[in-house]
Amino acid sequence: MGKFNRTIMKSAAIALLIVPISSQVHTREKASTNVRAFHPGDIAGCPQQIQPFGNHPNIRDCLQNIQKAANDDLLKRAQKGDPEAQKELASAYEHGRDGFEQNDTLAIYWYEKAAAHGDTWAIASVALLLLTGELDKSAEDAKAATLEWMQSHSDKAIVWRLSVTPQNLTTEDINAIRLRKRFHRATLAAGCDIYPDGSCTPEIRRSGILTIKSLAEAGLPEAQTLWGMTLFRKDMMYAIGLEPDPQDGLAYLLKGAEGGDPKAFIEIASVYEHGKGVESDTHKALEWYDGYVQLTTKLKKDAETKGHVTSFEDKLLVQCKLYFLRGDAIAPVTQYECESNRHFIQAY
């Protein structure tokens, strides 16, 4: 489906990124230890090559066993002092992936091991987690620990991709970044069932969905939008033992729109377009699609005045909606995209 092949749990953007000057793209080199790399065929009962969506009768068990073997191999290499393995293990703990439970404390531990080798990516990653990680620290203490770490590694060239320098971050800034990072992690956990590696569990998914709910109740616009969308979905609501509630879902979508989340405008438009829990109303749907265009145009203009570049992934979808529902004029190349994805667009 090209640009339209999206899912409800697409990752939210985090405003804070750190990239080392020495390597703008983080690469993973081969392990430098003598531990023999495992092969899927080494796992009893598994075929020599695994295709995640193949027809092997025990595919899920095989994938879980392969992942466990990979994790054991990674841990051995990290313990032997391989900085690349240490970074990879730290990243697995940081993001809670590949069967490793999310744990910022362990992530920092292994990043520090790699940082001891002078690895600038690891040094920057420690600073990032000290500032934004879930470490039971106040924003003030987190900022102090981050600045102390940066000062102790001031000889290393690190580019901080922040709208402001760490020194200028306020308590409010830090808490906002932490909140969005927590939301980002929750979306990955709630949507973990889309990954075929067997690491997703009902508990992880349930925890992610409930975290989105709590963040929505706390007033985070993006979370209000996503929780509103979730309230319409049987599979998501059944995962936490509740029934869908379209009326409450629309109420949360409206809160997300009021908070300025562009995604909420599209979802509200879809509710009225398809009559999800309300009477179908094309006129109201068009009003919300138009509202999306007006909001994103303003946001883009505001960003340009500050010298920032911004884009909105749903722009093409909305253009196609307005083309199909009202006959708006669009460029030939856009019309081709719309017609090529007509079924998906009209169903969204």
pLDDT in tens, 133-159: 999 999 999 999 999 998 898 877 665
Rounded-to-integer distance, Cα 83 and Cα 85, Å: 5
Confidence of residue 8 (pLDDT cuts 50, 70, 90): very low
Question: What pLDDT, on the 0 to 100 scale, is given for residue 160?
Answer: 53
Least confident interval from 2-6, 13-17, 154-158: 13-17
Q: Nearest 5°: CA angle at 88, between 144 and 93?
A: 60
- How far is residue 248's CA from residue 231's CA, in Å, rounded to a whole number? 7
Q: Helix count (H) and strand count (E) of the chain?
A: 15, 2
Does 16 score more than 90 pLDDT? no
pLDDT value of position 60: 66
Mean pLDDT, residues 115-127 taken together: 91
Q: What is the pTM of this model?
A: 0.74
Percent of the chain surpassing pLDDT 70? 79
pLDDT at 58: 62
For residue 208, count CB atoms less than 10 angstroms from its CB and return exposed for 0-12, middle for 13-18, buried for 19 or more.
buried
Q: What is the pLDDT of residues 214-267, one digit of tens each?
A: 999 999 999 999 999 999 999 999 999 999 999 999 999 999 999 999 999 999
163-201 confidence digits (pLDDT tens): 457 888 899 999 998 999 999 999 999 998 876 656 788
pLDDT tens, 318-345? Answer: 999 999 999 999 999 999 999 999 999 9
Average of pLDDT values for 273-284? 96
